[in-house]
Amino acid sequence: MIKLYYAAHTCSLASHIALEDAGAEYFTERVSFETNEQNSPAYLAVNPKGRVPSLVTDRGVLTETPAMLAYIAQTFPHARLAPLDDAFAFAQVQAFNSYICSTLHVAHAHRMRGHRWADDESSFADMQRKVPQSVSACYALIEREMFRGPWVMGDAYTVCDPYLFTLAQWMEDDSVDVSRLPKVLDHRRRMSERPAVRKAIADELA
Amino acid sequence: MIKLYYAAHTCSLASHIALEDAGAEYFTERVSFETNEQNSPAYLAVNPKGRVPSLVTDRGVLTETPAMLAYIAQTFPHARLAPLDDAFAFAQVQAFNSYICSTLHVAHAHRMRGHRWADDESSFADMQRKVPQSVSACYALIEREMFRGPWVMGDAYTVCDPYLFTLAQWMEDDSVDVSRLPKVLDHRRRMSERPAVRKAIADELA
């Protein structure tokens, strides 16, 4: 059976929701960031990167949210979480998720994880000041150029939707002016009402 | 026919090599970073992110290297550039490429693109000082945990190989001690001798 290692309030929620969407049989194990459990020997044996999420399958461990989301979509094809028979449309799904991962999430990470890329307190403060601008620019691009509606990819719900929803929960903490993002905001509201989303969040906060 | 927008000495080389590996019919168009062409109205109409690479297909434009590499592998299945019929093995390919994109490339980018995440000259200098450490940590993980040999994924050459090769060209500029990375270094040397790689590089530097 599939096992998802997660931490609350992190991007692991996207894969958690996707597993619910897929109707997968799975269980979860929480990794405590409060006690730095992600860098414990036991967890590093699962994922030497010391990050969440990790997805343990019968074949081995998978990491990296875009890869895991595509894997969930491919492994549970009846759930129709990605256009699996159309390489171009699948690539559009993947391009969106790659942007979330490598640009939006990275911009966000400069608010609290500046130590990954710098050492001085003054640099961390500078990075934190820039986050509203850099994160807002990502959302402006999503709102204007990428989001089709009603779902990210248009009429079909895909694994892009839980990933956008997950990061969009952090907009206010990043001081993004959400009033300028009506599509992203409406999407977040509609996502929050889906039973799969409610169940995944309730599990993580239990 | 496929058209690849690229800039020399950037990650677009990975897709360029993959198109060669695939035996694709394609042509390329150079985007001049020297004249900030990536932010020209003409290029922003192709890719509103103002980044390279962009892949123009009959169906539309694709961006984001991990998505493009998977697309090339799926569109030219005879080239066997990814394990297309094995969702787990495909996810491992994708996880590697996602790590390159969102962690290794991002760490590298703090040497010259600090303005994306900060504003002060002192922060840029701090970021630059940290790059040897942060980039080296990525390569150490690749060397120790990810690289299987002789190719990234083991016996089978995949789209992971041109992506690793492309970024590995920048190791010395990032002050990485390559003597500690014998597998990555040997891979880079073997890659550099492949005709597809030589042709892509020669095209870009012509």
Supply the angle between the helices A195-205 and A12-22 in degrees, to the nearest 10.
130
Q: A87-193: which CATH architecture?
A: Up-down Bundle (1.20)
Both structure tokens of B129:
């000082």
Write down the pLDDT at residue B10.
97
Tell me which residue has tokens 């109205």. B41
Interface with B, mutate which of A43, A56, A104, A117 (most B CBs under 10 A): A117
Q: Report the predicted TM-score, pTM, of the whole model to 2 decimal places.
A: 0.98
Fold type of domain B87-194: Glutathione S-transferase Yfyf (Class Pi); Chain A, domain 2 (1.20.1050)
Interface with B, mutate which of A102, A105, A113, A119 (most B CBs under 10 A): A102
**Nearest Cβ partner for B98 among A74, A88, A101:** A101
Helix H or strand E segment including A63 = strand A60-63
The one-digit pLDDT tens for each residue of chain B (206 residues) are 899 999 999 999 999 999 999 999 999 999 999 999 999 999 999 999 999 999 999 999 999 999 999 999 999 999 999 999 999 999 999 999 999 999 999 999 999 999 999 999 999 999 999 999 999 999 999 999 999 999 999 999 999 999 999 999 999 999 999 999 999 999 999 999 999 999 999 999 98
From the CB of residue A171, how many other CB atoms can be counted at a distance below 10 Å?
Answer: 20
> Within its chain, how far is the Cα of A33 from the centroid?
17
Q: Please tell me if the domain spanning A2-80+197-205 has the same topology as the one spanning A87-193.
A: no
pLDDT tens per residue, range A90-132: 999 999 999 999 999 999 999 999 999 999 999 999 999 999 9
- Whether domain A2-80+197-205 has CATH 3.40.30.10: yes
Contact B99 A63 (CB under 8 A): yes
SS3 letters across B127-150? HHHHHHHHHHHHHHHHHHHHCCCC
**Nearest Cβ partner for B120 among A117, A126, A141:** A126
Chain B: nearest CA to A40, how far in angstroms? Answer: 16
Report domain extents, chain B. 2-80+197-205, 87-194
Q: Are the C-beta atoms of B185 and B178 separated by less than 8 Å?
A: yes
